[in-house]
Amino acid sequence: MEQIIEFPDVLELVEQHKLPKEIYAPDGTLLFLPYEPAIESPLIANRKKWRLFANYSLTDDYEVVQINTTGQLIRIKEDPDIDEMMGYTRKNHPGATVEEVISFALESTVEQTGEFKDDDEFGAYALTLYLMLAYLIHYGLLILVKD
């Protein structure tokens, strides 16, 4: 049986201060700098130019997906934010910009839970979404195309 890689619980990594200093795409593109000002992270700085495409197929196990380019199996524990970003990119808008994917996830959260209490809460949540997106690209679930 092929080994299944566990997709990390990004919020747990944040809480335990176990984020790497840099997060890269499989092709070596620098995506995110968790400990630097947000605008210095290329994924945020290029959010209106970079596009995303799904690179996975569903399997019989609803928690496991298969990477199309490598065949690797990845287990993703249920997370509504991850599910939304993956689904939006795969089903609704292949080729959506990073900004479109994050905006969709933010809008969906507001619809489900109500408005954010203040700008700080909104900003922290948006940064968490960017971090999750960086991990989706890092693990090869989404392919990043630079314009």
The per-residue pLDDT for 116 is 86
- As given in the structure block, the two tokens for residue 74 are 């990845």
Q: Which residues of the chain have pLDDT under 50?
A: none
pLDDT, tens only, 117-129: 898 889 999 999 9
Residue 1's pLDDT is what?
Answer: 52
Backbone torsions φ then ψ of 58, nearest 5 degrees: -75, 155
pLDDT of residue 2: 72
In this predicted structure, what is the pLDDT of residue 147? 79
Q: What is the pLDDT of residue 113?
A: 86
